[in-house]
Amino acid sequence: MLEFLQYQFMQNAFIAALLVSIACGVVGTYVVIKKIVFISGGISHAAFGGIGLGYLLGINPVLSAIPFSVVSAVLMGSLGKKIELSEDAAIGILWSVGMALGIIFINLSPGYAPDLFSYLFGSILTVPYQDLLIMLVLDLIILGTVGLFHREFTAISFDEEFAEVMGVPSQLIYIILLALVALSVVVLIKAVGIILIIALLTIPAAISRQFTHHIPRLMMASVILGVILTSMGLWLSFLFNLASGATIVMVLGAAFFISAILKKIWYT
Amino acid sequence: MANVVNMEGVYYKLKDYYILENVNLTIKKNDFMALIGPNGGGKTTLLRLILGLLTPDKGNIEVLGMAPGKSKNIGYLPQKSSYQSNFPISVLEVVLMGRYKQLLKGYNKEDMKSALDSLKKVEMLHLKNQQIEKLSGGQLQRVFIARALSRKPELLLLDEPTASIDPHFQGKFYEILSKIRKKMAVVMVSHDIGVVSSYVDSIACLNQKIYCHGPVEESVEGLEKAYKCPIDLIAHGFPHRVLREHE
């Protein structure tokens, strides 16, 4: 059963799954408890503009996606308050404009875009070594930032107005949190692709949320669940020769339904 | 820095409608003031201006010698907290948030002690590890009172503190306030004029404007103006006493 681990690309894929799970477990916990799923979806789709920019400039699209998605996260977090616009309208605009920019950048790039689909739908089996390094560095930045600001993240997630009164610079902290979502989007792009990222940012934390009320335990459980479920998806996609990103998301979805049923049985 | 709060000629407008008009108000050290007035009269808005959550359209506000929002030495009990009721957090962690200092500064032993003390005061110590989603409305309100107290502030702003608490605790709550009021200025928004007037030393009646502000007995007349209807709750001649008996 484990002979598939002998392949170098499989080992890389499992390392990628681990790195992905760290980002989605830690940041996904905040995405779920602060209820910023929609804005996170917006950030992940807007990141496609950064991918397109990479093609246009001839650099690694994962690298160009970093500044692009961070900037769009900052814009989404601040635009709604600067001009008279509801936040979800701001998200909708940046979501589609980001994607459209990406398409135009790719149009403008010479030649054709070879592995474009891997950015849209993920291709965890072909993550190059350099991308693994980028993911590792981003994970470390995410963990360090959460280590420094976890009190503030929790405070603004629980009660933003009270946090502000206590002296938490809540707008700044919110934007830092969105920037972390942007970084985790970049970590996740190669694994499940832009279109399916939101599944990894929400499902592991949403499953764990049903069974624990303690934020550090919630993060830990989400990371572990992420590793188990993405590896399972990876293995199933290998076994049945299915698209890896979609299979991972299907496994996550199935796990969520099973956990919801289990919880019902447990508590009744 | 003589006064805790100084408001001069404060106007606050929402769209074209003035919520507050020419509000002048001073709160001194150790004042215990009730802020009363009809719904929509601007009581919560006034507190939010003091907290710096809103900015006045006109006028000047000074809080603890600083611009509103600059001084963090304020305890606050919001009326309807914007909190998430199913948030994964324990009672003690909520109260500790009242001790927040600044970025990169964790909670120390003193913060923990103050949080536990406040929980004890509101008789919620036994539930300190409980998840807040499992609490009743009254218990939650006590947790939020503890959160405001734990800061040991110079100014305590309470927006309808007795709104959802049970009658047993209500008496206890006023007992707590009469103890701590020597250490800080307390402003309390309330509808319950009857109960409040036997505890506080001054009343401000607010309905767009401040109708009166002064010691309890003198302020009573302003109530009718503020509410724009006669108040039969209040009887004159009984210092610090109100007609309606309360248990």
Question: Which residue, B29, B197, B54, is CA-closest to A161?
Answer: B54
Percentage, residues of chain B above pLDDT 90: 47
| A31, A37, A42, A43: CA torsion to nearest 10 | 10
What's the rounded Cα separation, in Å, for the pair A193 and B187?
Answer: 54
* Lowest pLDDT segment from A54-63, B1-10, B181-190, B228-237: B228-237
B17-22 LR contacts (CB < 8 Å, sep 24+): B18/B208, B19/B45, B19/B208, B20/B45, B20/B46, B20/B49, B20/B56, B20/B206, B20/B208, B20/B209, B21/B208, B21/B209, B22/B59, B22/B209
B13 sits in the region (left: phi over 0; alpha: psi -120 to 50; else beta) called beta
Check if the beta carbon of residue A68 is closer than 8 Å to that of residue A79: no
**Bigger pLDDT: B90 vs B225:** B90
Residue A191 lies in a domain: yes
Specify the pLDDT at position B221: 64
What does DSSP assign to residue B21? E
Percentage, residues of chain B above pLDDT 70: 86
Query: Tell me, what CATH number does A136's domain have?
Result: 1.10.3470.10
Residue A155 lies in a domain: yes
Does residue B22 belong to the interface with chain A, where contact is any CB pair within 8 Å?
no
Does residue A147 belong to the interface with chain B, where contact is any CB pair within 8 Å?
no
Does residue B125 belong to the interface with chain A, where contact is any CB pair within 8 Å?
no
pLDDT grade for B231, boundaries at 50, 70 and 90 = low
pLDDT digits (tens, 9 = 90+) for A107-157: 999 887 778 888 999 888 888 999 999 999 999 999 999 999 999 999 999
A164:B53 CB<8 A: yes
Does residue B2 belong to the interface with chain A, where contact is any CB pair within 8 Å?
no
Query: Per the structure, how many domains does chain A have?
Result: 1
Check if the beta carbon of residue B156 is closer than 8 Å to that of residue B179: no
- Strand (E) or helix (H) holding A149: helix A129-158
What's the rounded Cα separation, in Å, for the pair A54 and A58?
Answer: 6
Q: Would you tell me the crossing angle of helices A87-108 and A61-82 to the nearest 10 degrees?
A: 150
Domain with A196, as residue range(s), is 3-261
Q: Which chain A residues have a beta carbon less than 8 Å from that of B84?
A: 33, 35, 157-159
Q: What residue ranges define each of the domains in chain B, with the CATH number in brackets?
A: 1-73+154-229 (3.40.50.300), 85-152 (no CATH)
Which residue is closest to B77 within chain A, CA to CA? A162
Specify the pLDDT at position B12: 94
Residue A266 lies in a domain: no
Q: Which residues of chain A have pLDDT under 50?
A: none
Residue A182 lies in a domain: yes
pLDDT digits (tens, 9 = 90+) for B7-63: 999 999 988 889 999 999 999 888 899 998 888 889 999 999 999 999 999 999 999
Mean pLDDT of B148-170: 89
Residue A267 lies in a domain: no
B82:A161 CB<8 A: yes
Tell me if ipTM is over 0.95: no
Best residue of A166, A220, A222 to probe chain B, by most B CBs closer than 10 Å: A166
Does residue A163 belong to the interface with chain B, where contact is any CB pair within 8 Å?
yes
Best residue of B76, B99, B103 to probe chain A, by most A CBs closer than 10 Å: B103
Check if the beta carbon of residue B73 is closer than 8 Å to that of residue B155: yes
pLDDT digits (tens, 9 = 90+) for B167-183: 888 888 888 888 888 88
Question: Which residue, B33, B30, B5, is CA-closest to B215?
Answer: B33
Does residue B129 belong to the interface with chain A, where contact is any CB pair within 8 Å?
no
